Amino acid sequence: MLSESHQDQSKCEPISLIEAANILESLGNPKRLAIFRLLVKSGTGGLAVGKIQQTLEVAPSTLTHHINHLVQRGLISQTREGRVLRCTANYGIMSTMINFLVAECCQGV
């Protein structure tokens, strides 16, 4: 699980190799990657769980499992709006991962 500072969408701090591996492991599942990409595409407003289910044609129980996994890793967040559960991509952790992956690009060995 990510440290609290990495769950904050406004921060973009360095992460450890283990944290990066855990994030990549989470995104290594095709359904979770599809959910995350859809939420990134949707922007800062996110999407209602029902819209994610409809768009990706995922069974409700399967979707719940994958969303919970992404929430635990800090890749997405959820907010309740009355009866609607809205999911939003964590752009901070996405930026952190991109920075981690390219931090030493073309530096040589």
Q: Is the per-residue pLDDT at 9 higher than 80?
A: no
Q: What pLDDT sits at residue 77?
A: 97
| Ranges assigned E (strand) in 34-108 | 47-48, 76-81, 84-89
Between 50 and 107, whose confidence is greater? 50
Dihedral-angle region of residue 59 (phi above 0 means left; psi in -120 to 50 means alpha; beta otherwise): beta
Structure confidence by residue, pLDDT tens digits, 13-61: 788 999 999 999 999 999 999 999 999 999 999 999 999 999 999 999 9
Q: Is the per-residue pLDDT at 68 higher than 90?
A: yes
Architecture of domain 12-99: Orthogonal Bundle (1.10)
| Ranges assigned E (strand) in the chain | 47-48, 76-81, 84-89
Dihedral-angle region of residue 46 (phi above 0 means left; psi in -120 to 50 means alpha; beta otherwise): left
pTM, rounded to two decimals: 0.84
